[in-house]
Chain A
Amino acid sequence: MVSSRTLRAILVYAGIALLVLLACYYGSRPRGIHLTSADLLVQDTLGYPPPSRTQDWRALPGQWQQVTLPHAPRPRMVPGAGDAGLLPTQTSWYHFTLGPEQAAPTGAYIYVPRWKTDGELAIYIDGRLFYQTHANLQWNGSNRPLWIPLEEAAESTPPRDILIRMRHVRGIGGALSTLWIGDYRQLGAAYYMRAFFQAELPYISSALFLATGVFAFLIWLRSRRETLYLLYAVMTVATFLRVMHAYMGADRLPVSDAWFGWITVNSVGWTVLITHLFLTALHHHHVRVLTWIITLMCVGFGAITLPLFEGTTDATIISPLMYITMVAVGSVTFALHILWSRRAGTLEGAGLAICGLLSFILGARDMLLQNNIINIESLFVSFYAQISLIIVFCQIMLSRYLKAMKAVGEANVVLVRSLAEREAELTASHQKLREVERREVLFQERQRLMQDMHDGLGSSLVSTLRMVEHGHIDEADIAQLLKGCIDDLKLTIDSMEPVETDLLLLLGTLRFRLQPRLESTGIRLRWDVRDVPPLGWLDQRHSLHILRILQEAFTNVIKHAGASEIVVTTGVRDGQVCVGIADNGQGFDVAATGAGRGLGNQARRAEVIGGRVELLSGPQGTRFTLLLPVEGAARPQSAAD
């Protein structure tokens, strides 16, 4: 629906245009000597012999009669038969006598708003040939006003009589508007305004639209599916050809009359066909029969008027018949398209069809003008209907183009938005994953500590409690047991801090915790560690296992070995990092008592972290070794890191 704002804008623009046109019209009214009547002498002739150089009007045989200008006899539809193979022609002589009150000013022009002849025109001034058309006989630029500068020599006197010789096909053509004589100030505006609106504006606009047609054609070349662009391009060509009527012919044409007529008359049918296809592509209601009828009409007329062979009919001659047929077919077509477009909801399609109909109505009016039924001094307006038709075409193409551009823009916006959404989703899921991971780590940490409390501190405290309850224990033993518990606790706490792959730091921590206990037992500790490769897999979970394994080894030595020295070593053996705890106490039978001394527990923990333990015992003492992989090849229970 058209909004009231749009309507108001349209009204304002239309008003401005109307005002400009009115200003043009009133500002360009001609002044000067206006010749509105003439003496006419008509002679029947054959062919087109050239005019003589001088001509005394009094010497012409025949009866002169006075006529009022514009003079426009009604033409016949079809020319009459000729004699001796020569075209039957007619010479119309218009004679003007200028009285002393009609003396032309210096620098005067003869201005003829319109003249029509399927032939030629010559003008004699004071009996001397002064001007002569040099154009084709049929298409001779009769739509262009004549603007003839009068002689401006030193001896020049104002012309006293003017004789116009017009030779044309007998019964067809031959009409003359009123004449004006005046200087540039009096007539210049009138001439230029008429030349502009009658010939130049249609030419300029059709040429401009031809350029847009080239643009549309290039678009179509790149995307062949968009046939609308191709149709538009072809339409601009057809319109350009059709509008040539308006301005071509002031000079000789590069093609024969026959070809020019064939092109310009047939182009009406072509525009009907193109508009039909275009509208069909718009509303997608394809009636093949109609397409066939229009195509048949175009091809039929084109074929029978094709001026390739002798004896074909001249399109110019039968143009009234062709126009009537084409307008009839076109009107029905456009009327149907108005209906279909409205059904399909394509208002612009309906607008285009209405414009097509309008061009026919205006074309009918121009036919009346062409046939001298209405004042021949008025303008041919169907060209403007052609132009407005193509403006609607252009508007449709433009709106489609803009829609496509907008769609691209919107697609980009949607793309950006969906990208952002996807990114946000990813971030969210990543966060969720990390949250899950964090919870998993926390859970495992809790599990580990629970397990440790249960196996270590918890059970130690419970067994101490039992012993105290049964009175089987003295204070020193209780203190010893509690110290063990506190050591356990300290190591647990130590295991919560990161060690950053540093095994020696872990061993140092263990020593720091066990040192007081060792000192109290009097066992000497030799710290014989050397640097080992960093253990990339070493984290808090593994640290506690290592601490417990080694703590147990120390405890075993303190409790059972009766040793005086413990040596702690580190090194690399067979690609594995090994930690050795050796004592000089009495050995024991590994096979018999190994399990009882918590070796099973140590082996289990070592396995969990991908390592293993070794125990060698003899009379010289016992050597416990923990072997750990450098690379975390064997991942313990938690694969996540």
Chain B
Amino acid sequence: MADSAPPLLKVALVEDDIAFQNSFAAAVRSSGDMHLVGMAHNVAQARRMIAGDPLDVLVVDLGLPDGSGIEVIRAAHDAWPDCGIMVSTTFADEKHVIASIEAGAAGYLLKDSSAEKIADEIRALHAGGSPISPRIARQILLRFRPAEPVPAAAALAEVTPIANPLSPREREALELITKGFSYDEIAELMQVSRNTVMTFVRRIYQKLEVTSKAEAIFEARNHGIL
């Protein structure tokens, strides 16, 4: 480890599928700038890992043998606020991804990605960018929709005070994402750098997490739990 070289990214994986463990380990090994610090096969092991030193990037699978990866994400986010957490997923379907983001994840990793792609995604996340899909963008837009006429059942949820509403720029970026534009194209259309677009998305994810926490408290108050 030369002094002049940047320090290696400390990454770890929580995953019970050996095939993906292997390909993930291979991708990290071949990246050259990352170091696989640990590998947990279930929630219990993951919790022990979280009790230790903070990491740079933690990749978590949701379907663990002894519980949900959401717990791991939440625990890791609380323990290591600066750690970038990614949910590893086969389909990047919005249901799982958004639940993970609400728990504190900053991005997702498609399991069928190539080794280079995996390394790229980890680097991008660590650099402050977050991946997003058109459908996830659409979901987030719906979630932050300003008070419009909504069905009565949804009204309760909608009156929840949104701590940090989306800024017009963030909303614009999300709308472009739903139309299939890539980060580069959005950067060009909005006349900002690709990096800015990626930090937009990261900030939106953070707002989603905060809002969902506020909603949870609000709900709890409504139900007399708090």
Contacts and interface: CB of A to CB of B under 8 A. Distances in A.
Interface in B166-190: 177-182, 185
A527 B94 contact: no
Interface stretch (A237-245, A405-413, A490-498): A490-498
Contact of A507 (B91, B112, B114, B180): B180
A497 B135 contact: yes
Interface of A: 483, 486, 489-490, 493-494, 497, 502, 504-505, 507-512, 515-516, 520, 527, 529, 531
- The residue among B93, B94, B179, B182 with the most chain A CB atoms within 10 A of its own CB is B179
A515 B113 CA distance: 11
B178 A505 contact: yes
Given A497-B135, A516-B113, A508 B180 contact: yes
Given A490-B91, A497-B94, A505-B134, A529 B113 contact: no
A508 B135 CA distance: 8
B213 to A, nearest CB: 25
A504 B177 CA distance: 10
14 contacts: A493-B91, A494-B135, A497-B93, A502-B138, A504-B179, A504-B180, A505-B179, A507-B179, A508-B178, A508-B179, A511-B134, A512-B135, A527-B182, A529-B180
- The residue among B94, B133, B134, B135 with the most chain A CB atoms within 10 A of its own CB is B134
B117 interface: yes
A509 B134 contact: yes
Nearest to B95: A497
B178 A504 contact: yes
A529 B179 contact: yes
B86 to A, nearest CB: 17
The winner among B91, B133, B180 for most chain A CB atoms within 10 A is B180
B180 A512 contact: yes
Contacts of B110: 516
Nearest to B181: A527
A264 B180 CA distance: 108
B100 to A, nearest CB: 17
Interface string B80-114: 00000000000101100000000000000010111
A334 to B, nearest CB: 73
Contacts, number: 55
A63 to B, nearest CB: 113
A505 B138 contact: yes
Interface string B123-135: 0000000000111
Contacts of B135: 494, 497, 505, 508-509, 512
**What class of interface size applies to chain B in its complex with A?**
10 to 19
A515 B182 CA distance: 10
Interface of B: 91, 93-94, 110, 112-114, 117, 133-135, 138, 177-182, 185
Contacts of B181: 508, 527
Given A505-B179, A508-B179, A508-B180, A527 B185 contact: yes
Contacts of B93: 493, 497
B134 A516 contact: no
The 4 closest A-B pairs by CB, nearest first: A508-B180, A508-B134, A504-B179, A511-B180
A512 B94 contact: no
Nearest to B133: A512
Given A502-B178, A516-B117, 9 more contacts: A504-B179, A504-B180, A505-B135, A508-B177, A508-B180, A512-B135, A516-B110, A516-B113, A527-B180
Nearest to A487: B112
B98 to A, nearest CB: 12
Nearest to B131: A512
A181 to B, nearest CB: 94
Nearest to B184: A527
Contacts of A531: 179
Contacts of B182: 511, 515, 527
A308 B91 CA distance: 116
Contacts of B113: 516
Contacts of A489: 91
Given A504-B179, A527-B182, A509 B112 contact: no
A12 to B, nearest CB: 62
Contacts of A510: 180
Given A504-B178, A505-B178, A529-B179, A512 B91 contact: no
Contacts of B177: 508
A494 B93 CA distance: 8
Contacts of A502: 138, 178
Nearest to A568: B180
B91 A509 contact: no
A486 to B, nearest CB: 6
A640 B119 CA distance: 48
A148 B39 CA distance: 132
A76 to B, nearest CB: 99
Contacts of A515: 182
Contact of A486 (B94, B112, B180): B112
Nearest to A515: B182
A347 B179 CA distance: 89
Nearest to A496: B93
Contacts of B178: 502, 504-505, 508
Contacts of A511: 134, 180, 182
Nearest to B178: A505
A361 B91 CA distance: 108
Contact of B133 (A509, A516, A520, A527): A509
A512 B134 contact: yes
B116 to A, nearest CB: 10
Contacts of B134: 505, 508-509, 511-512
Contacts of B114: 516, 520
Nearest to A520: B114
Nearest to B182: A527
A494 B180 CA distance: 14
Contacts of A512: 133-135, 180
Nearest to A510: B180
Nearest to B177: A508
A509 B93 CA distance: 11
Contacts of A490: 91
A393 B134 CA distance: 88
Contacts of B94: 497
Contacts of B117: 516
A504 B134 CA distance: 9
A417 B94 CA distance: 50
From A483, A505, A508, A531, residue with most partner B Cβ within 10 Å: A508
B127 to A, nearest CB: 20
A489 B112 CA distance: 12
A430 B135 CA distance: 34
B178 to A, nearest CB: 5
Contacts of A504: 178-180
A481 to B, nearest CB: 13
Contacts of B179: 504-505, 507-508, 529, 531
